[in-house]
Amino acid sequence: MKNKIQSVRGTREFYPQQMLTRRWLYKHMEEVSTSFGYEEYDGPFIEKIDLYAAKTGEELVKEQSFVFTDRGGELVTLRPELTLSLARMVAARQNELVFPLRWWSFGPFWRYEKPQKGRTREFFQWNIDLIGSDSAEADAELVAICACFLKKMDITPEQIAIKVNHRKLMEEQLVKINIQKEYLKAVFHVIDRYDKLPTDSWKALCQERGLATEQVDQLWRLINNHELWKESPYLTSVFEILKVMGVSAYVKYDARIIRGLDYYTGMVFEAWDVGGDGRAVLGGGHYDNLVADVGGSPLPGVGFAMGDVMFTVLLEKYGKIPKINQFENALLVTVFNQDTTLASADMAARLRDEDLKVVTFPSVEKLQKQFKYADRMGIRFVLVLGPDEIKDRLVTIKDLKHHTQVSIPQKDAASTIKRLLAAQ
């Protein structure tokens, strides 16, 4: 390990076992996405910085992106998110695409943040969006997809819950307590801080930000009002739809959900780890203007994004990551000695022709060592082709799982193994 060059801070290394987990996660996202009729797409991994400058909030670009100048002197960045690339792609082919369109993606993103548990500088993110509809049905669908995914991962509503709110509802309510339009952003920010501070400190913070004592109390009542959604016919309708879809158990109204990204204009939602000290694992919402903002005609959309890092942390916490053995149906063809290597290679090739997963041992070693290798790798069958077998055109097959062994004619090897596999 001397003179080892370290990996770049915050980047990920996927050893085979973790790669299996990533693929397993991907498979479930794909299944849920496609079951609702979503199509897979992807955007560039590098974008011009201008794409994000306007709409995602300044911090995301200024502080949290991997920005550099390319050889042509252009300021570019490793993509910190996908929604704006999506909006541009849609705007570019707005007249040929069929709406409403439903697209999903899973790929790498980069943010220049301080790494800690559940947060790295390089991460994978599931993005899923429905564009071209303004209805409560569309918004409800995305929440339902989120719930279906959690259910599929065997996560219960007691473990992760989806909290829903609506920005316009909040704006209306804030206007009612005489908060001026210009202050909305600042107030949204203090609402966001509510969970992190004791009530007294939070109230002090509100006053610091210019709220009158009376307004602070009104705001406190507002964000602790779990019935507030009843003031919104829109949210009422969303919850009704979710009930019919059978996913209500995962969904809660929460007036404290606002979300940081500036482009959300309607319903917003986040999935939270209920058991933990509260961290969002997924977030999304409705946006009215995104496509227009990148040069298209106005088109509304709704979508969410989920990072793999925090979600994997939670899956581990709840013991939901299966131990996958990719060699459970594989076989190892051993080599007995130098004279039998060709016979083993020949046997291995013929078994692969029969669509079996066949590993060979690449050098002549003691059988003990080769058996141990199979055991450590989780390979189920070990084949021995020694002088005795070759003389009688036999092959010995040991089933490491059931600790049984047979010697059979070589021509029956594939069918015998297939029979054992079918019998489990």
Partner RNA sequence: GUGGCUGUAGCUCAAUGGCAGAGCAUCGCACUGUGGAUGCGAGGGUUGUGGGUUCGACCCCCAUCAGCCACCCCA
In the complex with RNA, which residue's Cβ is closer, 4 or 181? 4
The CA R_g of the chain, rounded to the nearest whole Å, is: 28
User: CA–CA separation, 396 vs 336, rounded Å?
Assistant: 12
In the complex with RNA, which residue's Cβ is closer, 181 or 376? 376
In the complex with RNA, which residue's Cβ is closer, 245 or 309? 309
In the complex with RNA, which residue's Cβ is closer, 237 or 289? 289
Minimum gap (Å) between residue 261 Cβ and RNA? 5
Two structure tokens written together for 210: 């210019």
In the complex with RNA, which residue's Cβ is closer, 214 or 388? 388
Minimum gap (Å) between residue 285 Cβ and RNA? 9
In the complex with RNA, which residue's Cβ is closer, 136 or 257? 257
Two structure tokens written together for 23: 């693929």
Neighbours of 285 (CB within 10 A): 26
Minimum gap (Å) between residue 276 Cβ and RNA? 9
Which DSSP string do the residues of 277-297 spell out, in sequence order?
A: T--EEEEEEEESSHHHHTTS-
Minimum gap (Å) between residue 227 Cβ and RNA? 26
Minimum gap (Å) between residue 315 Cβ and RNA? 14
User: CA–CA separation, 288 vs 265, rounded Å?
Assistant: 6
Minimum gap (Å) between residue 211 Cβ and RNA? 17
Binding site for RNA (CB under 7 A): 1-2, 6, 9-10, 57, 59-60, 64, 111, 113-121, 123, 125, 189, 192-193, 196, 259-261, 270, 277, 279-283, 305-307, 309-310, 336, 366-369, 371-372, 374-376, 382, 384, 386-389, 396, 398, 400-401, 403, 405
8 A C-beta contact, residue 78 and residue 46: yes
Exposed (0-12), middle (13-18) or buried (19+): which is 132, by Cβ within 10 Å? middle
Which residues are CB-neighbours of 417 under 8 A, at least 6 positions away? 331, 351, 356, 381, 397
Minimum gap (Å) between residue 356 Cβ and RNA? 18
Minimum gap (Å) between residue 138 Cβ and RNA? 19
In the complex with RNA, which residue's Cβ is closer, 97 or 313? 313
In the complex with RNA, which residue's Cβ is closer, 19 or 197? 197
In the complex with RNA, which residue's Cβ is closer, 338 or 368? 368
In the complex with RNA, which residue's Cβ is closer, 240 or 392? 392
Helices 167-176 and 213-223: angle between axes, nearest 10 degrees: 150
Which residues are CB-neighbours of 384 under 8 A, at least 6 positions away? 334, 336, 367, 395, 396, 397, 398
C-alpha dihedral over 377, 383, 386, 392, to 10 degrees? 180
Minimum gap (Å) between residue 210 Cβ and RNA? 16
Pick from 380, 282, 378, 370: nearest CA to 334: 370
Which residues face 140 on adjacent strands? none
Pick from 136, 129, 132, 137: nearest CA to 232: 136
User: CA–CA separation, 143 vs 90, rounded Å?
Assistant: 22
User: CA–CA separation, 304 vs 284, rounded Å?
Assistant: 4
In the complex with RNA, which residue's Cβ is closer, 366 or 393? 366
Write the single-letter amino acid at 93: R
Minimum gap (Å) between residue 72 Cβ and RNA? 26
Minimum gap (Å) between residue 209 Cβ and RNA? 11
8 A C-beta contact, residue 305 and residue 83: yes
Which H or E element spans position 124? strand 122-131
